[in-house]
Structure 1
Amino acid sequence: MRPLEDIRIIAIEQYGAGPFGSLHLAELGAEVIKIEDPRHGGDVGRYVPPFARGEDSLFFETFNRNKRSLSLDLSTAAGREVFEDLVGTSDAVYSNLRGDVPDKIGIRYVDLAPLNPAIVCCSLTGFGMTGPRSEEPGYDYILQGLAGWMSLTGDPDGPPTKTGLSLVDYSGGFVAALSLMAGVHAARRDGIGGDCDVSLYDTALSLLTYPATWYLNEGYQPRRMPDSAHPSLVPFQVFRARNGWLVVGCAKEKFWQRLVRALDRPDLANNPRYATFVDRAENREELLAALREIFAERDVQEWLSTLAAAGVPSGPINDVADAIAEPHTHARGLIVETEHPVFGTVRSVRSPVQFGDSVVEHRRAPRRNEDFDVVLRGLLGYDEDRILRYAAAGAFGPDRSAAQPASETGRDADPGNRTSTPGSTR
Structure 2
Amino acid sequence: MNAPETLAHARAREAAHAHVDTQANLPLAGLRIIAVEQYGAGPFGTQHLADLGAEVIKIENPHDGGDVGRAVGPHYFGPGDSHFYQSFNRNKKSITLDLKKPEGQEALRRLAAEADVVFNNLRGDLPSKLGLTYAQLKDVNPQLVCGHLSAYGRTGSRAAWPGYDYLMQAEAGYLSLTGEPDGPPARMGLSIIDLMTGTTAAMGLLAGVVGARASGVGRDIDVSLFDVALHNLAYVATWYLNAGKAIGRETRSAHPSLTPSQLYRTQDGWIFLMCNKEKFWGVLAQCIGKPEWADAPEFKTFKDRLANRERITQELDAVLQTATTEEWMKRFAGKVPAAPVYDVAQALDSDFVAEQERLLEFDHAGGPVRMVASPVRAGAHPTRPAPAMGEHTDEVLRGAGFSDQQIEAMRGKGAI
Corresponding residue number in structure 2 for 1:31: 55
Instruction: Tell me the residue number matched to 2:389.
Output: 368
Measured in 2, the distance between the counterparts of 1:54 and 1:391 equals 22
Task: Give the residue type in structure 2 aligned to 1:375.
Answer: V
2:35 is the alignment partner of 1:11: yes
- On the 8 A contact 2:37/2:58 being kept in 1, the answer is yes
Shift of 1:287: 1.9
Shift of 1:354: 2.6
Give the secondary-structure state (helix, strand or coil) at the position aligned to 1:337: strand
Q: Distance in 2 between matches of 1:266 and 1:81?
A: 74
Give the deviation of 1:171 after TM superposition: 0.1
Give the one of 126, 130, 152 matched to 2:151: 126
Matched, 1:43 2:67: yes
2:279 alignment partner, SS class? helix
Question: What SS does the aligned partner of 1:60 have?
Answer: helix
Q: SS of the counterpart of 1:347?
A: strand
Instruction: Give the whole-Å Cα distance in 1 for the aligned partners of 2:244 and 2:350.
Output: 42
The code of the aligned residue for 1:184 comes to: V
Is 2:347 aligned against 1:347?
no
Indicate which of 358, 361, 365 corresponds to 1:334: 358
CA contact (8 A) 1:21 1:174 kept: yes
Shift of the alpha carbon at 1:115? Answer: 1.4
Corresponding position of 1:298: 323
CA deviation profile, 1:100-159 (whole Å, cap 9, x unmatched): 111222211111111111110000111111232222112001000011111100111111
**Which whole-Å CA distance do the structure 2 matches of 1:386 and 1:301 have between them?**
65
Q: State the distance in 2 between where 1:221 and 1:291 align.
A: 28
The residue number in structure 2 matching 1:189 is: 214
**In structure 1, how many angstroms separate the alpha carbons of the residues matched to 2:287 and 2:64?**
60
Cα distance between partner residues in 2 of 1:351 and 1:302: 31
The amino acid that maps onto 2:388 is R
Moved more, 333-342 or 358-367: 333-342
Query: Aligned partners of 1:364 and 1:77: how far apart in 2?
Result: 31
Please say if 1:383 is aligned against 2:406.
Answer: no
Q: Matched residues in 2 for 1:211 and 1:333: separation? A: 35
Q: Does 1:271 align with 2:296?
A: yes
Q: Look up the match of 1:167.
A: 192
CA deviations on 1:254-281 (whole Å, 9 max, x unpaired) are: 1100011112223422311111111111
Residues 29-38 or 123-132, more deviating = 123-132
Matching residue of 2:307: 282
Q: Which runs of 4+ in 1 moved over 4 A?
A: none
Query: What are the equivalent positions in structure 2 for 1:154-233 lying under 5 Å apart?
Result: 154-233=179-258
Q: CA deviation at 1:328?
A: 2.1
2-structure distance, mates of 1:372, 1:100: 27
TM-score, length-scaled by structure 2:
0.92
State the shift of 1:351 in Å.
1.4
Alignment counterpart, residue 241 of structure 1, candidates 263, 266, 279: 266
Deviates more, 1:18-27 or 1:103-112: 103-112
Residue 78 of structure 1 contacts residue 394 of structure 1 at CA under 8 Å; is this kept in 2? Answer: no
The C-alpha deviation readout for 1:59-83, integer Å capped at 9, x for no partner, is 1111100000001111111111111
Tell me, yes or no, if structure 1 residue 393 matches structure 2 residue 402: no
Match for 2:346 among 322, 332, 336? 322
**Paired residue secondary structure (1:4):** coil
**Structure 2: how far apart are the matches of 1:210 and 1:282?**
21
- SS of the equivalent of 1:94 reads strand
TM-superposed deviation, 1:367: 0.6
Secondary structure in 2 matching 1:306: helix
For 2:11, the equivalent position in structure 1 comes to none
State whether residues 71 and 368 of structure 1, in contact with CA within 8 Å, keep that contact through their aligned partners in structure 2. Answer: yes
Q: Which amino acid aligns with 1:230?
A: H
> Structure 1: any 5+ residue segments left out of the alignment?
397-426
CA distance in 2, matches of 1:350, 1:287: 39
Q: CA deviation at 1:9?
A: 0.3
How far apart, in 1, do the equivalents of 2:275 and 2:257 lie?
Answer: 11
Amino acid at match of 2:395: V
Aligned-pair CA distance for 1:307: 1.8
2:394, 2:407 within 8 Å by CA — same for their partners in 1? no
**Alignment RMSD:** 1.2
Instruction: Give, in whole Å, the separation in 2 of the partners of 1:337 and 1:291.
Output: 42
Paired residues for 1:44-123 under 5 Å: 44-52=68-76, 53-123=78-148
Query: Does the 8 Å contact 1:79/1:394 carry over to 2?
Result: no
Tell me, yes or no, if structure 1 residue 150 matches structure 2 residue 170: no
Q: Contact between 2:32 and 2:115, CA under 8 Å: does it hold in 1?
A: yes
Cα displacement string for residues 298-350 of structure 1 (whole angstroms, at most 9, x for unaligned residues): 221221122227x11111111112111222212222111121126x2111111
Contact 1:92 1:120 in 2 (8 A): yes
Normalising by structure 1, we get a TM-score of: 0.89
Q: Aligned partners of 1:147 and 1:159: how far apart in 2? A: 16
**Matched letter for residue 229 of structure 1:** A
The alignment-based identity, stated in percent, is 47
DSSP-derived class of the 1:374 partner: helix
Amino acid at match of 1:353: V
Cα shift at 1:394: 2.0
For the residues of structure 1 that align with 2:312 and 2:127, how far apart are their CA atoms? Answer: 55
Distance 2:405 2:167 in 1: 48
